[in-house]
Amino acid sequence: MICKKFILLLLSILLCINMPACASDKPNTDNIHHSSQQDPEDQNPGENQNPGENQNPGENQNPEEKTEPGVFNLEKGTVMLNSGYEMPVLGIGCYLLSNSQAENSVYWALRDGYRLIDTARIYGNEEGVGKGIKKAIDEGIVKREDIFVTTKMWTSDFGNGDAAIEASLKRLNLDYIDLMILHHSQPSNDVQAYQAMERAVKKGTLKSIGLSNYYEPDDFDRVVTATTIRPSILQNETHPYHQSTVMKNHIAQYYTVLESWFPLGGRGNTQTLFNDTTISSIAKAHNKTSAQIILRWHLQAGNIAIPGSSNESHIKENSEIFDFELTAEEMQQLTSIDKKQRFADY
């Protein structure tokens, strides 16, 4: 009898040793740790976010490098986007440049320290832009990961967005594009085009996405509510005579950053701004040109600026805006010359 009891006791002890729940009171968390730990080095910024949720942008960054999304760092010359990627705040614009002009302008700009390039399918110069980038990379001026390339999907491609993205990649001769934006609002199918860009973000061929030429809060929200990834950028005509205050305040809730096209007023209008007495007197006080004052105003106001030029010395001049600062009073004076007046009619 005693022998039988002893054997039963021995058996239950042996069973218990083989069952983890018996062996310890602690839950086995090995799998949980393994599946949730990621090496931050391996991960593309933004790729582990669920863009459909109201995430706090930038929260997947290394806490030591944490930067508030939407806040400009003029020491570094960058702004953190809501996608988790850092974007340079001054770039070279390529509107109205031929392929060979774009190649030169992009190359000169990269050599002068610019790290942002803005082109579009409709400019017809993506190949030239790609060549300028390649030349700068081949000469060791920059690495691909140091630069930020933006292009835009034209409205006639909105019904065939996936193919349009592939075609831009091919023309630019790049594996990925840092930012693609829809060139214009087009309610009939811009959501469809935006969804193609969202698919490309999942694939990794686009890093950030955004919108251009949305001038009414409701029009912007129409796309936001029908899609999952918040636009990182809104690129609209913006300069001292059209400061885009309403849209800028509206998009701030999404941590979307305003990017200024026609930052100097655009071809044919620049002299109007350069000769404005407020702008030219501030320029005189700083021993800078009116163009430099306007560009510095954009950056201090929190607008990304992409002045366009095919002129080597203008490109250099436009880059020399990080060695001075406008005072609060000068910023106020420049704010007060807003006429809410667009130069373009599209």
Residues 6+ apart with CB under 8 A from 280: 274, 290
Q: Which residues are known to be catalytic?
A: 123
Of the ranges 89-97, 102-110, 168-176, 192-200, which one interacts with ligand NAD (CB under 6 A)?
89-97
Of the ranges 125-133, 224-232, 275-283, 304-312, which one interacts with ligand NAD (CB under 6 A)?
304-312
Q: Does 235 bind ligand NAD (CB under 6 A)?
A: yes
> Cβ of residue 291: shortest distance to ligand NAD, in angstroms?
4
Q: Does 264 bind ligand NAD (CB under 6 A)?
A: yes
Amino acid sitting at position 328: A
- Total chain residues near ligand NAD (CB under 6 A): 25
Burial 162-176 (b: 16+ CB within 10 A, else e): bebbeebbebbebee
Count other Cβ atoms within 10 Å, centred on residue 181.
25
Q: Does 179 bind ligand NAD (CB under 6 A)?
A: no
Binding residue (CB under 6 A) for ligand NAD from 162, 314, 325, 331: 314
Residues 6+ apart with CB under 8 A from 180: 150, 151, 152, 153, 165, 168, 197, 200, 206, 209, 210
Binding residue (CB under 6 A) for ligand NAD from 99, 105, 168, 212: 212
Residues 6+ apart with CB under 8 A from 86: 67, 76, 78, 79, 80
> Cβ of residue 111: shortest distance to ligand NAD, in angstroms?
17
Count other Cβ atoms within 10 Å, centred on residue 101.
17
Binders of ligand NAD among residues 100 to 129 (CB under 6 A) are: 118
Closest CA to 231 of 215, 200, 252: 252
Q: Does 254 bind ligand NAD (CB under 6 A)?
A: no
Q: Does 317 bind ligand NAD (CB under 6 A)?
A: yes
Q: What's the CA gap between 207 and 245, in Å, rounded?
A: 27
Binding residue (CB under 6 A) for ligand NAD from 46, 69, 128, 266: 266
Which residues contact ligand NAD (rule: CB under 6 A)?
93-95, 118, 183, 212-213, 235, 261-267, 270, 291, 306-309, 311, 314, 317-318
